[in-house]
Amino acid sequence: MTGRRRFEGQVVLVTGAASGIGEAMSIAFAREGASVVVIDRDAPGAARVAAGIVAGGGLASGASADVSSADDMRRVIDEAVSRHGRLDVLCNNAGIGVAATCHETSEAEWDLTMAIDLKGVFLGCKFAIPHMLRQGKGVICNTSSVAGQVGVANRAAYCAAKAGVLGLTKSIAIDYAAHQIRCNALLPGTVDSPWIGKILAQQSDPIAERGRMEARQPIGRMGRPEEVAAAALFLCADEGSFMTGTGLVIDGGLTAR
Q: Is residue 257 part of a domain?
A: no
150 and 183 both lie in a single domain: yes
User: Are residues 234 and 208 part of one domain?
Assistant: no
Q: In this model, does residue 1 exceed pLDDT 50? A: no
Is the pLDDT assigned to residue 2 strictly greater than 60? no
What is the Cα–Cα distance from 35 to 26, expressed in whole angstroms?
A: 9
Average pLDDT, the chain: 96
- CA 95 to chain CA centroid, nearest Å: 8
Is residue 23 in a domain? yes
**pLDDT at 194 (0 to 100):** 85
**Overall number of domains in the chain:** 2
Structural domain boundaries enclosing 212: 190-221
CA end-to-end span of the chain: 36
User: What's the pLDDT score for residue 99?
Assistant: 86
Mean pLDDT of 237-246: 97
Q: Are 103 and 27 in contact (CB under 8 A)?
A: no
Residue type at position 23: E
Question: Average pLDDT of 166-195?
Answer: 96
Residue 40 in domain? yes
pLDDT mean over 27-39: 98
Active site residue 176: no
In this structure, is residue 256 part of a structural domain? no
| 36 assigned to some structural domain | yes
Assess if residue 1 is contained within a domain: no
Q: Which residue has the higher pLDDT, 96 or 204?
A: 96
**How far is Cα of residue 64 from the mean position of the Cα atoms in its chain?**
16
| Identity of the residue numbered 38 | V
For 147-168, how does the pLDDT look when each residue is reduced to its tens digit (9 = 90+)?
999 988 889 999 999 999 999 9
Dump pLDDT digits (tens) for 34-82: 999 999 999 999 999 999 999 999 999 999 999 999 999 999 999 999 9
Asked whether residue 199 falls in the same domain as residue 87, the answer is: no
Q: For residue 5, tell me if it sits in a domain.
A: no
User: Catalytic: which of 158, 168, 185, 235?
Assistant: 158
Q: Which residues face 60 on adjacent strands?
A: 36
% of the chain beyond a pLDDT of 70 = 99
The distance between the two most distant Cα atoms of the chain, rounded to a whole number of Å, is: 55
Q: How far is CA 114 from CA 4, 62, 156, 195, 206, in A?
A: 40, 25, 11, 17, 27
Confidence of residue 195 (pLDDT cuts 50, 70, 90): confident
The reply to whether 68 and 176 lie within a common domain is: yes
Of 155, 137, 134, which Cα lies nearest the Cα of 146?
155
Gap between the Cα atoms of 46 and 161, Å rounded: 24
Q: What is the pLDDT of residue 193?
A: 87
Shared-domain flag, residues 211 and 233? no
pLDDT in tens, 101-153: 999 999 999 999 999 999 999 999 999 999 999 999 999 999 999 999 998 88
